[in-house]
């Protein structure tokens, strides 16, 4: 399995630390608002990564944090005059609902930052002992970037660029150097706080991820994934904190998913183009059509979201489902009595191998999707073999295609009876009656097509 490692800017063969296992940390949401479709694109890419590892028989342990204490959460709770915990539980619930609608598999652990304050303080103390941390005049604790030689390795920013970048951001805390970042924020009036050896306060955002990943995956683990906007400073700071504290390598592979654009532009409040999954649902769009759209662009390329492209994805997914239902109907008509020949099996094996090669080449979902279409339209395989293949593909694509046949594949007794009656009428050349029976069948949501083998009855979806 080949992955593009952002640490080395190269495609590399994935070598697990422990044979047969893969430790995966994926940065989760800060639960102060709905996640938008840009975030969801990242979660879909990470889900494909997880499924691809499973396809390669790795036992995956995925950890996705929930940041439930942060400036934005506190601000929202002040605006709404509610407890910050209520804000957190409201938006984390909505986050999980979105994941479910997009067929995103559950991570093994969803640690919440507020449950790991002790672990964060342990890390800060370690950093302090090694000279990586200091207390500022305002009582907050900062990470001393000048002490960490490798700083900027992931983002490939040199110190000068980092400095000028840091200077533009408003610094409300007292630091030795403008580029240093906060590990522990001194308590401020009306804000939630915890006791610590450095005085009462709350953790900085970056230390949360270091503590939760180390606690759940160990000091050294396989893969860390996130959106490209997190490379600097978040992932850069995670590396500095974790490697500073443990004195060893933190993660082998960093995978960063590219941005989603809307009509060619970055999503922003001023452009009013920040969409959520619910905005799609309000237009009657199946969330899985968004997943289909996301799979159509490689995760390292920018995805330009437009309503037209989404509409095309809606149609494509619909056609894919209909093709599957049609094939099941063909099987019901007796196609399955035709046994798969050795040549069929060999061909199916070859296609499955091609699918795996596409996925193993740094998660090539666009190639995998087009292979699914090719399998349906351009192979001489019988319906049974085709369905088997598509079902295998869907273990990685996650489009819920297996559900389609389960949900709609069984024909109701009433429809079956009408089809049989219509056949009788046809045999007796009572075509007017046969036609009116066809209409009845159509009203029940099925189409009938007369073939050499008999009537092909397909559910309309
Ligand atoms: Zn993170």
Task: Return the structure tokens found at 158.
Answer: 């040199």
pLDDT at residue 167, rounded to an integer: 43
Q: Are residues 28 and 119 in the same domain?
A: yes
Q: Are residues 118 and 212 in the same domain?
A: yes
* Domain-located, residue 421: yes
Rounded distance from Cα 10 to ligand 1 centre (Å): 22
Left, alpha or beta for 190 (phi > 0: left; psi -120 to 50: alpha)?
A: left
* Domain-located, residue 325: yes
Burial of 109 (0-12, 13-18, 19+ CB in 10 A): middle
| Coarse DSSP helix, strand, coil percentages of the chain, rounded to the nearest 5 percent | 50, 15, 35
- In whole angstroms, how far apart are CA 397 and each of 47, 48, 317, 348, 373? 9, 7, 12, 18, 13
pLDDT at residue 331, rounded to an integer: 87
Q: Are residues 403 and 445 in the same domain?
A: no
Last residue of a domain, one of 367, 384, 408: 408
Q: Are residues 13 and 120 in the same domain?
A: yes
Q: Are residues 362 and 446 in the same domain?
A: no
pLDDT at residue 122, rounded to an integer: 98
d(CA 225, CA 220): 15
* Domain-located, residue 46: yes
Q: Are residues 441 and 368 in the same domain?
A: no
Q: Are residues 295 and 253 in the same domain?
A: no
Q: Are residues 100 and 17 in the same domain?
A: yes
Query: pTM of the predicted model, to two decimals?
Result: 0.94
pLDDT at residue 176, rounded to an integer: 85
Rounded distance from Cα 300 to ligand 1 centre (Å): 19
Average pLDDT of each block of 10 consecutive residues along the chain (461 residues)?
A: 97 98 97 96 98 98 97 94 96 98 98 98 98 94 94 81 50 74 95 97 96 98 97 96 97 98 94 96 98 98 98 97 92 74 93 98 98 93 93 97 83 93 95 96 94 90 89
- Which chain residues have CB less than 5 Å from ligand 1, an ion? 27, 209
Q: Are residues 372 and 419 in the same domain?
A: no
The set of residues, in sequence order, having a beta carbon less than 8 Å from that of 213 and lying 6+ positions away, is 25, 63, 65, 221, 224, 238, 242
* Domain-located, residue 269: no
* Domain-located, residue 105: yes
Rounded distance from Cα 235 to ligand 1 centre (Å): 7
Q: Which of 210, 207, 133 is CA-nearest to residue 176? A: 133
Rounded distance from Cα 149 to ligand 1 centre (Å): 21
Q: What is the CATH number of the domain that holds 27?
A: 3.40.50.620
pLDDT at residue 168, rounded to an integer: 42
Rounded distance from Cα 349 to ligand 1 centre (Å): 40
* Domain-located, residue 356: yes
Q: What is the CATH number of the domain that holds 371?
A: 1.20.120.1910
Rounded distance from Cα 450 to ligand 1 centre (Å): 58
Note whether 36 and 98 are within 8 A (CB): no
Rounded distance from Cα 206 to ligand 1 centre (Å): 6
Q: Which domain holds residue 450?
A: 413-459
Rounded distance from Cα 35 to ligand 1 centre (Å): 15
Rounded distance from Cα 142 to ligand 1 centre (Å): 18
Q: Are residues 401 and 418 in the same domain?
A: no
Last residue of a domain, one of 366, 387, 408: 408
Last residue of a domain, one of 213, 236, 257: 257
Rounded distance from Cα 68 to ligand 1 centre (Å): 12
* Domain-located, residue 246: yes
Rounded distance from Cα 73 to ligand 1 centre (Å): 16
Within 10 angstroms of residue 88's Cβ, the number of other Cβ atoms is 24
Rounded distance from Cα 384 to ligand 1 centre (Å): 44
Strand bridging mode 2-5 / 201-203: unpaired
Q: Are residues 226 and 125 in the same domain?
A: yes
Task: Return the structure tokens found at 370.
Answer: 């087009």
Rounded distance from Cα 353 to ligand 1 centre (Å): 35
Rounded distance from Cα 377 to ligand 1 centre (Å): 43
When divided into structural domains, the chain yields a total of 3
* Domain-located, residue 438: yes
Q: Are residues 209 and 115 in the same domain?
A: yes
Note whether 62 and 224 are within 8 A (CB): no
Tokens 């007794």 sit on residue: 413
Rounded distance from Cα 27 to ligand 1 centre (Å): 4
């Amino acid at each position: 399995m080949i992955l593009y490692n952002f640490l080395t800017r190269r495609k590399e063969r994935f070598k697990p630390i422990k044979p047969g296992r893969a430790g995966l940390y994926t940065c989760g949401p800060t639960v102060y608002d709905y996640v938008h479709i840009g975030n969801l694109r990242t979660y879909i890419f990470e889900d494909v990564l997880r499924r691809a590892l499973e396809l390669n028989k790795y036992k995956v342990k995925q950890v996705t944090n929930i940041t439930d204490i942060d400036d934005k959460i506190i601000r929202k709770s002040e605006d709404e005059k509610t407890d910050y915990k209520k804000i957190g539980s409201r938006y984390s619930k909505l986050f999980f609902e979105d994941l479910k609608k997009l067929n995103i598999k559950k991570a093994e652990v969803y640690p919440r930052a507020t449950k790991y304050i002790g672990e964060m303080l342990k890390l800060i103390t370690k950093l302090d002992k090694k000279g990586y941390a200091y207390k500022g005049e305002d009582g907050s604790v900062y990470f001393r970037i000048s002490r960490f030689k490798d700083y900027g390795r992931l983002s490939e920013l040199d110190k000068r660029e980092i400095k000028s970048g840091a200077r533009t951001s408003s610094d409300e805390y007292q630091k030795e150097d403008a580029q240093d970042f906060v590990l522990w924020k001194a308590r401020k009036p009306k804000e939630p706080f915890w006791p610590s050896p450095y005085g009462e306060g709350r953790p900085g955002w970056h230390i949360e991820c270091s503590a939760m990943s180390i606690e759940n995956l160990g000091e050294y683990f396989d893969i860390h994934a996130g959106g490209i906007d997190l490379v600097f400073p978040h992932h850069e700071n995670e590396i500095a904190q974790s490697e500073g504290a443990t004195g060893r390598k933190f993660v082998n592979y960093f995978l960063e998913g590219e941005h989603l654009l809307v009509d060619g532009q970055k999503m922003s409040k001023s452009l009013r183009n920040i969409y959520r999954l619910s905005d799609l649902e309000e237009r009657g769009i199946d969330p899985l059509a968004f997943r289909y759209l996301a799979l159509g662009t490689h995760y390292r390329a920018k995805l330009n979201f437009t309503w037209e492209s989404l509409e095309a994805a809606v149609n494509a997914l619909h056609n894919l489902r209909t093709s599957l239902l049609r094939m099941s109907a063909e099987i019901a008509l007796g196609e399955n009595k035709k046994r798969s020949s050795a040549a069929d099996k060999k061909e199916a094996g070859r296609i499955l191998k091609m699918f795996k090669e596409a996925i193993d080449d740094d998660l090539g979902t666009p190639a995998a999707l087009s292979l699914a279409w090719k399998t349906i339209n351009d192979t001489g395989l019988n319906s049974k073999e085709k369905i088997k293949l598509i079902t295998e593909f869907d273990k990685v694509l996650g489009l819920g295609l297996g559900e389609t046949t389960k949900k709609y594949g069984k024909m109701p007794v009433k429809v079956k009876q009408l089809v049989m009656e219509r056949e009788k009428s046809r045999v007796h050349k009572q075509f007017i009656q046969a036609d009116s029976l066809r209409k009845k069948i159509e009203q029940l949501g099925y189409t009938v097509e007369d073939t050499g083998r008999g009537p092909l009855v397909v559910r309309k979806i």
